[in-house]
Structure 1
């Protein structure tokens, strides 16, 4: 899985052998949305009508049998987990939860997840995620000044969860 944050709530995500672009048309100045979505397999907007997943009871789709799969690749499935919350499930990848608003209730699946937090109040969102689960990784998509205070607040509570800060335009493989 590779995450690239372009600023604000715009992401380019390589997951399950596919490229998903989130909120391309809200990209910051200097980012051309047509170039951003070029080569992508799916584009999604935060307010798009997507199937809803209950974060407390969601389960990953079962792995496809090799005999059934053939040469084709199953598309990444994207669910809404509330306003400005996306849950992505790609084959052979950890679940990816991208949140730019409130944190939904999280089930056991979140222990294996990568969680990306963007927008305002990420420190509180990070604390809420850690109250419910210890995901494999939390990635912060926020400008510099807030990163330091968020790291300081979350560090004592990590208990095995990785914590990184995303830089605009820099791809991070997780």
Structure 2
């Protein structure tokens, strides 16, 4: 999995051999929108408002098929809206990916193996991080926000991690997970 955050909630995600682009219309003006979606297998606009809904507290990742049942193609990439402003991406063989810009939805045990990306400014980034870590801590927590918000969040969250990895995303730079 590779994440490239461009600012706001605009993110390019390479996962399971596919490319997803989240919120290309919200990209900063310096980003060429045509280039951003070039080669994308799927574009998710409006932070997933058009996606089918799923209950994050009962959802479970798909299990890998038996070797005999595997096809020749790449695994399908599924995405759901799991709350007012949270998107869940699932690909067989990859960690679940949860992107959150609003309130953290109720989450099930699957989040222990998940990568969670939080989008926010100021104290909001810290509030989201606390809400995730106080629920069920994920495998990795990625912070996408301005430098001041990230610095505040890291200071507030570092003693709560209990085994969760913590990274900050820098606009325009890819993070391979």
Q: Is the shorter-chain TM-score for this pair beyond 0.5, marking a shared fold?
A: yes
Residue in 2 that maps onto 1:132: 135
- Aligned-residue RMSD, C-alpha: 1.0
- TM superposition outliers: structure 1 runs of 4+ over 3 Å: none
Residue in 1 that maps onto 2:169: 166
1:45-80 residue CA offsets vs partner (Å, 9 max, x unmatched): 215321111111110112122322221123200000
SS in 2 for 1:134: coil
Residue in 2 that maps onto 1:85: 86
Residue correspondences, number: 174
Q: How far apart are the structure 2 equivalents of 1:23 and 1:126?
A: 21
Answer whether contact 1:78 1:88 (CA < 8 A) is retained: yes
Normalised by the size of structure 2, how large is the TM-score? 0.95
Q: Where in structure 1 are there 5+ consecutive unaligned residues?
A: none
Q: Where in structure 2 are there 5+ consecutive unaligned residues?
A: none
Q: How far apart are the structure 2 equivalents of 1:101 and 1:138?
A: 15
Q: How far apart are the structure 1 equivalents of 2:116 and 2:2?
A: 13
Q: How far apart are the structure 2 equivalents of 1:15 and 1:126?
A: 23
Normalised by the size of structure 1, how large is the TM-score? 0.96
1:28-49 residue CA offsets vs partner (Å, 9 max, x unmatched): 0110111101011100021532
Residue in 1 that maps onto 2:10: 10
